[in-house]
């Protein structure tokens, strides 16, 4: 979604305190007017309720029973877990999450109506509880076959690979649904960078293992855009744009072909050197609701 309103409005919250983090917001978010005059607002890191002072937060924390996001824990690979939250059943949490996320999302409409969405929250566990790292939202029913509406990693956790992990998770859900998916447009600059990187890595990996397989079998098999899309759940258009971006998609004798070149092997080596946390699909406990 696109909101003209939020584009023209400037940042209205000076600072937030969330768990052990103090974070400076990037953009406008429609928090209650009386909170916008304060030097800092205080957010319960478990239920995401927002209050106006440290004293209020202390009082709240003594009553707040949550030590993790609400909803179902559908993935655990210590210390990381994913929780699935229904925007209709946990409306207050979902609305608070949207308010918090809007502080770092420029171009998204705030969904006051959270009913049509599911929220997948990534949290990191320690002895005090499960601390929110980031999330993505997803329409329960998407006419455009989007598998992510909004995606966010909170600033203290950015550039550490968590964005990639959220994106990977969103495609694992699509695989279980036996659908292809794509993020809702427009993407932010950071969103595009992260998706490009994930798509590239995923496709490079598939092409390399395909190449190795066909070498072992000693036969020249063909792999198509459709195959790649089906294996990865990445929508066809995104597969093509990624192949073009990697310079692996050539027009040859009247048709498009995927060429596996040395460029690909170099990209693969660079990729392997990053060794990031990955989703282990065998730890995902989830079936789509109908
Ligand atoms: N500068 C350059 N490259 C970057 C940057 C940056 N600031 N941030 C991420 N990248 C690249 C990384 O280098 C990495 O690529 P690599 O593996 O090839 O090195 C890739 O993007 C993913 O990096 P992560 O560390 O996994 O990403 P991060 O945890 O920072 O999360 C996210 C990315 C979610 C986009 C985060 O920056 C964010 O929350 N931004 C604010 C909200 C936003 O813009 N969300 C996307 C909106 S679009 C939508 O919602 C559909
Ligand atoms: Zn709370």
| pLDDT 10s digits, 140-199 | 999 999 999 999 999 999 999 999 999 999 999 999 999 999 999 999 999 999 999 999
Please give all residues whose beta carbon lies within 6 A of any atom in ligand 1, as ranges: 104-105, 148, 150-153, 158-164, 183-184, 187-188, 190-191, 193-194, 197, 274
Residue whose C-alpha is closest to residue 202's, from 120, 146, 271: 271
- Least confident stretch, 96-100, 138-142, 150-154, 262-266: 262-266
- 191 alpha carbon – ligand 1 mean position (Å): 6
Closest ligand by atom to 92 CA: 2
Give me the pLDDT at residue 111, please: 65
Give me the pLDDT at residue 168, please: 98
Closest ligand by atom to 168 CA: 1
Mean pLDDT of the chain: 92
Region 84-108: mean pLDDT is 95
Contacts of 157 (CB under 8 A, 6+ apart): 133, 134
Is 141 a known active-site residue? no
Task: Report d(CA 174, CA 180) in Å as an integer.
Answer: 6
Report the nearest-CA residue for atom 33 of ligand 1: 163
- 66 alpha carbon – ligand 2 mean position (Å): 6
- 64 alpha carbon – ligand 2 mean position (Å): 5
Task: Give the number of the atom of ligand 1 that is nearest the alpha carbon of residue 134.
Answer: 39
pLDDT of residue 265 exceeding 90: no
Q: What is the largest CA-CA distance in the chain?
A: 72
Structure tokens that stand for 161 in this block: 């690979």
Report the nearest-CA residue for atom 1 of ligand 1: 190
Give me the pLDDT at residue 211, please: 86
> Per the residue annotation, which of 124, 172, 184, 213 is the catalytic one?
184
Report the nearest-CA residue for atom 31 of ligand 1: 163
Strands (DSSP E) found in the chain: 16-18, 21-23, 41-43, 50-51, 72-77, 80-86, 117-126, 129-139, 146-148, 151-153, 182-183, 249-252, 255-258
Q: Which of 168, 193, 204, 238 to mutate to test the pocket of ligand 1 (most atoms within 8 A of CB)?
A: 193
- 95 alpha carbon – ligand 2 mean position (Å): 14
Cis? peptide before 79, omega within 30° of 0 = yes
* pLDDT > 90: percent of the chain: 76
Task: Give the number of the atom of ligand 1 that is nearest the alpha carbon of residue 197.
Answer: 18
Task: Report d(CA 173, CA 19) in Å as an integer.
Answer: 29
| Residues shown for the chain | 290
pLDDT of residue 7 exceeding 80: no
Give me the pLDDT at residue 187, please: 95
ipTM associated with this complex: 0.98
| pLDDT 10s digits, 10-22 | 899 999 999 999 9
- 190 alpha carbon – ligand 1 mean position (Å): 5
Task: Report d(CA 234, CA 179) in Å as an integer.
Answer: 9
Residue whose C-alpha is closest to residue 226's, from 206, 211, 198, 209: 206
């Amino acid at each position: 979604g696109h909101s003209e309103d939020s584009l023209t409005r400037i940042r209205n919250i000076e600072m937030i305190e969330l768990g052990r983090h103090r974070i400076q917001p990037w953009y406008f978010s429609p928090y209650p007017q009386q909170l916008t005059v304060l030097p800092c607002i205080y957010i319960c890191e478990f239920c995401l309720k927002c209050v106006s002072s440290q004293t209020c937060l202390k009082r709240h924390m003594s009553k707040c029973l949550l030590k993790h996001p609400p909803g179902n824990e559908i993935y655990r690979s210590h210390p990381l877990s994913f929780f699935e939250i229904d925007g209709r059943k946990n409306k207050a949490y979902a609305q608070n999450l949207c308010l918090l996320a809007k502080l770092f999302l420029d171009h998204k409409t705030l969904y006051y109506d959270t009913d049509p969405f599911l929220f997948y929250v990534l949290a990191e566990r320690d002895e005090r509880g499960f601390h929110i790292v980031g999330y993505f939202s997803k329409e329960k029913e998407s006419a455009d076959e989007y598998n992510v509406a909004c995606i966010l990693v909170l600033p203290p956790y950015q550039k550490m690979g968590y964005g990639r992990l959220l994106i990977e998770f969103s495609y694992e859900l699509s695989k279980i649904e036996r659908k292809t998916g794509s993020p809702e447009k427009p993407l932010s600059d950071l969103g595009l960078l992260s998706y490009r990187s994930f798509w590239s890595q995923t496709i490079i990996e598939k092409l390399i293992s395909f190449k190795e397989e066909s070498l072992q079998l000693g036969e020249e098999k063909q792999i198509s855009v459709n195959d790649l899309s089906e294996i990865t759940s990445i929508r066809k258009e995104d597969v093509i744009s990624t192949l073009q971006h990697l310079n692996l998609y050539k027009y040859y004798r009247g048709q498009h072909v995927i060429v596996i070149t040395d460029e690909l092997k170099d990209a693969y080596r660079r990729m392997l050197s990053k060794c990031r946390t990955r989703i282990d699909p065998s730890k995902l406990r989830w079936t789509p609701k109908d």
